[in-house]
Structure 1
Amino acid sequence: MTAPRLEIDLAKVEQNARVLVDRLAPVGIGVTGVTKAALGSPGIGAAMLRGGVQGLGDARVPNLERLAGLDGSPSRTLIRSPMLSQAGQVVRTATTSLNTEAVVLTALDQAAARDRRVHDVLLMVELGDLREGIPLDDVSAAVRHVLRCDSLRLIGLGTNLACQNGVVPDDRNMAVLSGLVENLESLHGLVLGTVSGGNSANLEWALGTADVGRVNDLRIGEAILLGTEPSRRTPIAGLHTDAFVLHAEVIEVAEKPARPWGDRAQTAFGEAVARTGTGTVRQAIVALGRQDVDLDGLVAPEGIAILGMSSDHLVLDLGDRRTAIGEELAFGLGYGALVRAMTSPFVTPWPTP
């Protein structure tokens, strides 16, 4: 089999989805399965749906197009604010989109009217992480704007935390979201059926709080795919953390000095690496580089240490492990590493999901 190769266990993805769906159901929260780290893979989307998620979400329109052919025509949510230039594609491909900008909402309305369809909208609210979101004082005006659009349907509010600046979802900021929903319903005489409280980072709050308020949806990707909680990158009890395993081939093994010699400057990627130690190390090179996978989140096999990575070479300290040329080594993946591996043209997903 070819390498590098990303082996995917769809049964584990399905089981992770099922466990989270079952844990959140008693508190009234449904799950939107997010496929963006998996390049909108239909196979992975189908596994999430078999696990009970109520719909799928992705940040890119082409990924949502890949998901459109799944059985049952599941809801597809564009979880990044639409590009103005893609308004027509968005209403044709996504059943719902998350929005912050009036000019984009107008373009979506016009595109939906041309196609004689109604497009569902969630307005995103800024609660402190300083990525996307409408300031609290401006949300009511945004609601009025959507209500004036004949081809848009306002179905709820959402927010996003933990991604840009690591702001943790908690009772305080989630209560602000719930309170805002109720104020807007009273002010505008409407019912907001979906309150999307955030992403995988919300799980600890959602499963530990005494009251989830109006939050009834979470957009979950990392926890389903990798079985980890993103705020601290810790495993979630009862979930598989090895649904994705990256296999790569050893192309050199040699005994080499522990420390380089000669005048030193930056590496190929602008880093100043300090290698320490004395004597020699059993060093291996694996045919894997930054064009294939992100070094951040790449987990070496037990007993092996990563010494560095360039575009197409991964350098390892083998320790006591005996390794031969042509042998494959299996690496675990964190979120950043998974995103890069799934989008690299040089990494073969297996089976093709």
Structure 2
Amino acid sequence: MYAPILEIDTRKITENARKLHDFCAGRGVELAFATKGFSARPEVIRAALAGGITRFADSRLKNIAAAKTAIPGLHYLLIRIPAMDEAEDVVRWADCSLQSQIEVIRAVSDAALRAGKIHPIILMIDVGDLREGVFGMEQLDEIAPQILACPGVELVGLGTNVGCYGSVLPSVENTKILVELRDYLNSKYGFHITTLSGGATCTLKLLEDGLLPREINHLRVGEAILYGEDTTGNRFLEGYHQDAFHFKAQVVELRRKPSVPIGERGRDGKGDIPEYPDRGVRLRAICAAGKQDVAWAALTPTLPGAEMIGASSDHLIVDVEDCAGQVHVGDWMDFRCGYMAVLDATTSAYVKVQLK
């Protein structure tokens, strides 16, 4: 039965992992490889292990459980604030977790005590991106003594996240906040905080430029290893593979059509009102895959001259006017994948994954 294909080149992932691991280790920074972007497939994890990665991170406990079952002995950090109802599973599967809400921390503490454990946590600090984390000194002073009153957890680190919601870029100023708050908490409350998790792939630019505060000793990185890309920083990483993941779908229609829809228009399948630039009549290829399979905007056709136009739930539409007659019905079109494309493709029940 037909299925679009996600092709994974594990050799390139190993090489990216080794390059980044060696770079960060030489500067005193430990990496936690984020596996959520490919649904924690064991083949990709093994490729990262071969590149020297020893710590892993994921936002989904289901992924962590599956990965640790497939590869016993993995060390995993849970990087999404858990729900209170997940407390038992957090303690069971995660070796450490990011936390920000005292009610959840209490639930995890209680679950840890029932399991006869002390669960390490990293408290998230919101430095301006306005996603998760304690915001400001008043909130910090409110939560700190309450964490001390939770005997089933140990506060081992502080972390921050930028770029994912508010598109805030990491800076010397907003990463240094972690250093200042570590010193404050250790001094005032007697914590022994040793880990400062300064962000994700987008924070690498500070490290490359020698600007990352030397006390920042931990990063949660996925995109750099998987795609050699920093989307938030709008750059590709020099010397890294950008093509470890390819999406392939078969052409099922090839016709010349106007570039602007004809007739009164409402909203599209997502409820949006899209705009269509008038480029005249163009040759368009329709491929047998769609939004149910992959995030089309994160696909880049590898055929010179081809250009993504859009997608519906089941169809990818590609402008092939400038491809000099190289596209035919039945051909498999090839696309380089960005982060969201792989995230969707590895969670779709309709995409076949092949290792190269």
For this structure pair, what is the TM-score category when the shorter chain's length is used for normalisation? over 0.9
- Residue in structure 2 matched with residue 49 of structure 1 by the alignment: 49
Is the contact between residue 96 and residue 121 of structure 1 (CA under 8 Å) also seen in structure 2? yes
After superposition, residues 202-217 of structure 1 pair within 5 angstroms as 202-210=203-211, 212-217=213-218
Amino acid at match of 1:92: R
Helix, strand or coil: the match of 2:3? Answer: coil
Structure 1 residue 69: Cα displacement: 2.8
8 Å Cα contact 2:206-2:212 kept in structure 1: no
Contact 1:223 1:230 in 2 (8 A): no
Q: Does structure 1 residue 12 correspond to structure 2 residue 16?
A: no
- Between the aligned partners of 1:294 and 1:233, the Cα distance in structure 2 is 18
State the partner residue of 2:231.
Answer: 230
What secondary structure, in the 3-state scheme, does the structure 2 residue paired with 1:27 have?
A: coil
1:129-208, aligned counterparts within 5 Å? 129-137=129-137, 138-208=139-209
Offset, 1:2: 4.9
Note if contact 1:300-1:331 (Cα within 8 Å) is conserved in structure 2. Answer: yes
Paired with 2:205 and 2:222, the residues of 1 have a C-alpha distance of 15
Residue aligning to 2:122: 122
Residue-by-residue CA offset, 1:124-171 (whole Å, 9 max, x unaligned): 111110000012313244333223222212211111111111111111
Compare 156-165 and 229-238 and name the one that shifted more. Answer: 229-238
The 8 Å contact of residues 197 and 216 in structure 1, kept in 2 or not, is answered as yes
- SS at the partner of 1:69? helix
Could you tell me which residue of structure 2 aligns to residue 274 of structure 1? 276
Shift of 1:108: 0.5
Residue by residue, what CA displacement relative to the aligned partner does 1:156-193 show, whole Å, maximum 9, x if unpaired?
11111111111111111111111111121122333212
> Does 2:318 correspond to 1:316?
yes
In structure 2, what is the equivalent of residue 94 of structure 1? 94
Amino acid of the structure 2 residue aligned with 1:232: G
C-alpha displacement of 1:315 = 1.6
Cα distance in 2 for partners of 1:173, 1:261 equals 50
Q: Are the counterparts in 1 of residues 8 and 244 from structure 2 also a CA contact under 8 Å?
A: yes
Kept in 2, the 8 Å contact 1:249–1:326? The answer is: yes
Contact conserved, 2:99 with 2:124, CA < 8 A, in 1?
yes
Deviation string, structure 1 residues 280-304 (Cα, Å, up to 9, x no partner): 3222110011101112211123211
In the alignment, the residues of structure 2 paired with residue 197 and residue 226 of structure 1 have an alpha-carbon distance, to the nearest angstrom, of: 20
Q: Residue 59 of structure 1 contacts residue 78 of structure 1 at CA under 8 Å; is this kept in 2? A: yes
Which residue identity lines up with residue 345 of structure 1 in the other structure?
Answer: A
| TM-score of the superposed pair, with normalisation by structure 1 | 0.94
Q: Counterpart of 2:279 in structure 1: which amino acid? A: G
Which amino acid counterpart does residue 344 of structure 1 have in structure 2? Answer: S
| Per-residue CA distance 1:224-283 (angstroms, 9 max, x = gap) | 1111012133210011100100010011112334444333333333333324133x3222
Q: How many residues align?
A: 351
Q: Distance in 2 between matches of 1:210 and 1:89?
A: 38
Cα distance between partner residues in 1 of 2:234 and 2:58: 21
Structure 2: distance between partners of 1:107 and 1:296: 39
Identity %: 34
Bigger shift: residues 313-322 or 12-21: 313-322
Query: How many angstroms does 1:198 deviate by?
Result: 0.7
Change beyond 3 A, Cα 1:259–1:186:
closer
Greater than 4 Å deviation, 4+ residue runs: none
Q: Distance in 2 between matches of 1:40 and 1:168?
A: 27
Distance 1:60 1:72, change over 3 A: closer
Check conservation: 1:171, 1:209, Cα contact below 8 A.
no
- The offset of 1:334, in angstroms, is 1.6
2:316 & 2:31 partners in 1: Cα distance?
Answer: 37
SS in 2 for 1:113: helix
Structure 1 residue matching 2:26: 3-state secondary structure: helix
Q: 1:146 to 1:70 in 2, by over 3 A?
A: farther
Q: Which amino acid aligns with 2:320?
A: L
Please tell me whether the aligned partners of residues 42 and 71 of structure 2 are also in contact (alpha carbons under 8 angstroms): no
